[in-house]
Structure 1
Amino acid sequence: MAQQPAGTSGTLGSKNRTIITISSFTAQGKIQELKTELNIGLTEGLTVNEIKEVLVHTYAYCGFPRSITGLQTFMQVIEERKAKGIRDNIGKQASPVAGNGSKYDRGKKILSDLTGTPPPAKLSGYSAFAPAIDTFLKEHLFADIFERDVLTYAQRELVTISVISAIGNADPMLRSHLNISLRAGWTAAQLEEFIAVITPTIDSEKAAAAKAVLMGL
């Protein structure tokens, strides 16, 4: 599968650092800052389809309004760059998904692979309280979205922890996805770099909270 958890080493790299800032500003609806980072992302080598995929992924964690606004902002950036004679790399599109079994079962397996824990024998907690959200989570987020191969699992987790940090007050979910990020291939040092990159994009309280969650892993 094209998006198996990717091993990484060294620093995050300029393209992945821009994924963080794009995701953060999208989640917060900071349009002017987002336009700047979208331009930087394209200059650093992110393809148009990679950035579109980042912006689409954000909706699962900050909602359609912010995600669609991000996409509309990106459309403006592309047109402005075209007017200047800049032709950006479109990049590959997502491959057709040829998974076996139901979307629910595929999503359940992907989630299990990401967390490193076997699926529970029966639903509990919020999943048992509202089974519909468990179905949406497995079928849509971890099947429909994570099965797409434009971004790696590691990059998708980078988008996820960026959005969660930017919206704030979701420490348990941030903790969970920071642990998933480690399993997806990021190192502890790279997650510390993540904190350094996202800190200037969010307020000091959210930055301190994100750092505290990482230090508590």
Structure 2
Amino acid sequence: MRKIENNSLKMKQLKTIVIAIITTVFLGFTNDVKAQSNAGTTMNLDAEQQSIVTIASLTAKGDLENLETALVEGLEAGLTINEIKEVMVHLYAYCGFPRSLHGLRTFIKVLDERKAKGIVDALGAEAAPIEDKRTKYERGKANLEALVQAKLDGPPADYAQFAPIIEVFLKEHLFADIFDRDILDYQQRELVTVSVLATIGDVEPMLRSHMNICLIQGITPAQLEELVDVAGKNVDQAKIESAKEVLNELLESKK
């Protein structure tokens, strides 16, 4: 009788051990799935990045009515006033002062309306003073080299040989005056740039170049694909199809 009881006890203990093992394996599998799911989530543009894309695209397009909504969504996603202003300052280099100024005026309107409702939006950091003592041309060249992660000591591009002053303006103003401002980082600035170029269209070589810079700066192919899709909600389909083709060709060349 005692032997039967001992066997029964051993069976219960064995059953307990087996259940514990199965539970551990299941929990491990579940946690692994969750980890993979979370890893996939980080591949997507976050809410702030999506807002940057939408705001840049609508400003470049001049769609001020929908821009008002996008600006509110950007603020509520966590972008500061100064970050959104910087988006609009940055993009003028790619689509011109008129679009940028219209965008800024639309932003003023949105902020005034929110203030009247008692909504207080975060101002955010101002651009830090530039302490670098190098010439603006040297700073701009260094910034561009940091963007593309390569030395730029080869012969000037054809346009720079044809009109040398444009190369000076690019290095001193765009890549020094603008890119030296630390309100937005390089990734954010390139999201703005690609969004604007995809929106205005017919600038495929420059679009490809800046999509490549995005990849160099750590933006994933999946995030670039999402960028095009987000911008595509507000852009002519033909332009978006062209942007997708440029991106596909770029990614194919990386294989």
Q: TM-score range by the shorter chain?
A: over 0.9
Secondary structure of the residue aligned to 2:233 is helix
1:53-68 alignment runs, 5 A limit: 53-68=86-101
Uncovered stretches (5+) of structure 1, i.e. residues with no partner:
1-8
Equivalent residue number for residue 4 of structure 1: none
1:48 to 78, 81, 84: 81
Aligned identity (percent) is: 53
The answer to whether 1:178 aligns with 2:215 is no
Note the aligned Cα RMSD (angstroms).
1.2
1:128 to 154, 161, 179: 161
1:19-98 alignment runs, 5 A limit: 19-98=52-131
Q: Distance in 2 between matches of 1:97 and 1:64?
A: 24
Q: Which amino acid aligns with 2:183?
A: V
1:196 to 229, 239, 250: 229
Report the alpha carbon displacement of residue 117 of structure 1 after superposing the two structures with TM: 2.6
Q: Which amino acid aligns with 2:98?
A: P
Q: Distance in 1 between matches of 2:96 and 2:76?
A: 27
Equivalent residue number for residue 3 of structure 1: none
Give the TM-score, by structure 1 length. 0.94
Q: Distance in 2 between matches of 1:56 and 1:110?
A: 18
The answer to whether 1:103 aligns with 2:136 is yes
Q: Distance in 1 between matches of 2:50 and 2:160?
A: 33
Structure having the higher helix fraction is 2
Uncovered stretches (5+) of structure 2, i.e. residues with no partner:
1-41, 251-255
Residues matched between the structures, number: 210
Give the TM-score, by structure 2 length. 0.80
Report the alpha carbon displacement of residue 201 of structure 1 after superposing the two structures with TM: 1.1
Task: Say which structure, 1 or 2, has more relative contact order (CA 8 Å, 6+ apart).
Answer: 1
Runs of 4+ in 1 over 6 A off after TM superposition: none
Report the alpha carbon displacement of residue 12 of structure 1 after superposing the two structures with TM: 1.0
Larger Rg: 2
My pick for the range that moved more, 141-150 or 9-18, is 9-18
Report the alpha carbon displacement of residue 118 of structure 1 after superposing the two structures with TM: 1.6
